[in-house]
Amino acid sequence: MSQNYIRIAVLGDIRPGTMRCAHINGQRILLANVGGEILAADEMCTHEEHSLCNGALHGDLVSCSLHGSRFSLRTGQPLEEPARDPLRIYPVRIEGEDILVGL
């Protein structure tokens, strides 16, 4: 299945160690800059509909500010309860300064 890559941000928008949320084509995407690598995942916690952008980024892990579940932004897997379902992870491409996410 071929990915449709959509420009979602520019590299200067997301400093290393920070994250940003974007809404594109009805989807809420979390972007994180982990040591210069951009990772993309669903923005909403899978335990309860709560924005992970309100949480904290620690390396490639994001924690939910509501109940403390942590997720790997590389695999989407939850590392702590109460979340049990993984986040959807999106492929990322960089073209020049543009960040493109495969939806």
C-beta of residue 33 within 8 angstroms of C-beta of residue 17:
yes
What's the confidence (pLDDT) of residue 3?
79
pLDDT reading at 1 higher than 90: no
From the list 73, 69, 70, the residue with the least C-alpha distance to 60 is 73
State the alpha helices, DSSP H only, in 1-103: none
CB proximity list for 48: less than 8 A, separation 6 or greater: 66, 67
Query: What are 58's two structure tokens?
Result: 């620690």
The CB density around residue 23, as the number of other CB atoms within 10 Å, is 10
pLDDT at 91: 97
Q: Where are the domains of the chain?
A: 5-102
CATH class of 5-102: mainly beta
